[in-house]
């Protein structure tokens, strides 16, 4: 498909159960839309039959453009691969492949784009998930918003419609520890939110484990906030304050009440306090150093194993491909 107006981008990982329903709903959206639409599906190293189903679909329907990564890189990297592969001339519609983000909202999002907005993001007014996840997500978004140096909307994930120029800027941002919703906010331009009810997963289980959610949260905090670094200084000032107060208390006992305080308890308290502060400081600094370390290697964000577009296997320009001689961008 040449020069589609809109690209629908959906990363997939082990979505065999929900794949037929996903295709059915995407086809309905494309069949009823007056605009030229392509769908970019990204296989993030699935271990089930997802890649086979994607291949069969792309070879029979030219509206589908499939990118197969060489292994599982994670949701944010897979989404970045899809944004890089999208050919839309006007806008990219980003959804999750588990159908928690309804593709039927495309027209509503695109109307806002036509009003002059470069980013139309979805705001979750209701989540059909466990109370623990709802509480964790709500707390995280409010924490990041309160400490971030960019204006991040509350309760808004990756589900959005972005203009071509926003997608081009995202493709130029090389950070390895990606937090796309934060990067999207950092870019700027005119942005607006649309409320929706986030559906429950159609089938299977969530691919985000607790450790993966923690990693995503860390990327949001350490990539878009100066607070972790500044809190080290505040902790240092706090501990100095405690030490000064304790020194004054000791001097009063010694010279006014002529009472020599017992040293073991005080010494143990000071050692534990300062050791804890130092370990926290080292851990916070380590998070930044770790990100600098991985970024400095200069590795590509991902490796593409195969690409199928317009019923043919084609290499994706500018990316590593196991089936072509394409090289990584310099």
264-302, pLDDT tens digit by residue? 666 666 777 777 777 777 777 777 777 777 777 777 888
Beta bridge partners of 41: 10, 66
Average pLDDT on 131-144 reads: 68
Same domain, 105 and 240: no
Name the pairing type of β-strands 312-313 and 304-309: antiparallel
The alpha-helical segments, DSSP class H, found in the chain are 19-32, 50-60, 75-85, 106-114, 131-147, 164-172, 180-187, 210-223, 227-255, 263-296
- For residue 322, the model assigns a pLDDT of 43
Distances in whole angstroms, Cα of residue 329 to Cα of each of 70, 165, 227, 317: 18, 20, 33, 9
Q: Is 22 helix (H, G, I), strand (E, B) or coil?
A: helix
Task: For residues 218 and 177, give the distance between their C-alpha atoms in angstroms, rounded to a whole number.
Answer: 9
> 123: pLDDT confidence band, cut at 50, 70 and 90?
confident
Q: How many residues does the chain have?
A: 330
Task: For residues 262 and 158, give the distance between their C-alpha atoms in angstroms, rounded to a whole number.
Answer: 58
- For residue 161, the model assigns a pLDDT of 93
Q: In this model, does residue 325 exceed pLDDT 50?
A: no
Distances in whole angstroms, Cα of residue 46 to Cα of each of 49, 51, 326: 7, 7, 23
Q: In this model, does residue 7 exceed pLDDT 60?
A: yes
Same domain, 47 and 133: yes
Q: Is 119 helix (H, G, I), strand (E, B) or coil?
A: strand
| Residue 330, domain member (yes or no) | no
Same domain, 190 and 75: yes
The share of the chain scoring above pLDDT 90, in percent, equals 19
| Residue 328, domain member (yes or no) | no
Q: How many domains does the chain have?
A: 2
> 330: pLDDT confidence band, cut at 50, 70 and 90?
very low
Same domain, 154 and 25: yes
Same domain, 284 and 304: no
Same domain, 184 and 254: no
| Residue 318, domain member (yes or no) | no
Task: For residues 69 and 305, give the distance between their C-alpha atoms in angstroms, rounded to a whole number.
Answer: 5
Q: What is the mean pLDDT of the chain?
A: 78
> 323: pLDDT confidence band, cut at 50, 70 and 90?
very low
Task: For residues 150 and 179, give the distance between their C-alpha atoms in angstroms, rounded to a whole number.
Answer: 13
Write the pLDDT tens digit of every residue in 45-82.
Answer: 888 888 899 988 988 888 999 999 988 888 889 999 99
Angle at 174 (CA atoms; ends 169, 178), nearest 5 degrees: 95
> Could you give the angle at which helices 164-172 and 75-85 cross, rounded to 10 degrees?
120
> 10: pLDDT confidence band, cut at 50, 70 and 90?
very high
Tokens 């009440």 correspond to what residue?
Answer: 257
Task: For residues 43 and 58, give the distance between their C-alpha atoms in angstroms, rounded to a whole number.
Answer: 12
Q: Are 124 and 102 in contact (CB under 8 A)?
A: no
Same domain, 76 and 196: yes
| Residue 13, domain member (yes or no) | yes
Nearest Cα residue to 29 out of 95, 97, 89, 104: 104
> 177: pLDDT confidence band, cut at 50, 70 and 90?
confident
| Residue 47, domain member (yes or no) | yes
Is the entire prediction scored with pTM above 0.75? no
The DSSP secondary-structure symbol of 264 reads H
Average pLDDT on 217-222 reads: 67
Encoded tokens for 312: 């043919």
Same domain, 209 and 139: yes
Q: Which domain holds residue 169?
A: 6-225+299-313
Same domain, 34 and 127: yes
For residue 102, give the CATH number of its domain.
Answer: 3.90.550.10
Q: In this model, does residue 136 exceed pLDDT 70?
A: no
């Amino acid at each position: 498909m040449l020069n589609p107006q809109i690209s629908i981008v959906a990363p997939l990982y082990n979505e065999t159960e929900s794949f037929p329903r996903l295709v059915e709903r995407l086809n309905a959206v494309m069949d009823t839309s007056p605009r030229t639409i392509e769908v970019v599906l990204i296989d993030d190293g699935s271990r089930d039959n997802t890649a086979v189903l994607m291949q069969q679909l792309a070879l029979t329907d030219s509206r589908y453009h499939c990118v197969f990564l060489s292994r599982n890189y994670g949701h944010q990297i897979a989404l970045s691969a899809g944004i890089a592969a999208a050919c839309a001339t006007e806008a990219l519609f980003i959804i999750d492949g588990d159908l928690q983000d309804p593709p039927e909202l495309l027209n509503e999002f695109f109307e806002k784009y036509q009003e002059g907005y470069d980013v139309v993001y979805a705001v979750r007014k209701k989540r059909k998930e466990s109370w623990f996840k709802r509480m964790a997500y709500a707390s995280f978004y409010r924490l990041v918003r309160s400490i971030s140096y960019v204006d991040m909307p509350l309760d808004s994930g990756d589900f959005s419609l972005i203009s071509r120029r926003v997608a081009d800027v995202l493709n130029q941002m090389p950070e390895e520890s990606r937090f796309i919703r934060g990067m999207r906010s950092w870019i700027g331009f005119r942005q607006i939110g649309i409320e929706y009810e986030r559906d429950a997963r159609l089938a299977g289980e969530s691919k985000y484990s607790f450790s993966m959610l923690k990693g995503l949260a860390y990327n949001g905090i350490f990539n878009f906030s100066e607070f972790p670094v500044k809190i080290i200084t505040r902790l240092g000032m706090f501990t100095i304050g405690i030490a000064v107060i304790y020194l004054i208390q000791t001097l009063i006992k010694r010279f006014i009440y002529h009472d020599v305080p017992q040293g073991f308890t005080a010494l143990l308290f000071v050692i534990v306090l300062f050791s804890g502060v130092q370990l926290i400081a080292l851990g916070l600094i380590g998070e930044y150093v770790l990100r600098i370390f991985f970024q400095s290697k200069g590795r590509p964000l991902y490796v593409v194993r195969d690409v199928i577009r317009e019923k043919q296997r084609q290499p994706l320009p500018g990316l590593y491909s196991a089936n072509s001689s394409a090289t990584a961008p310099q």
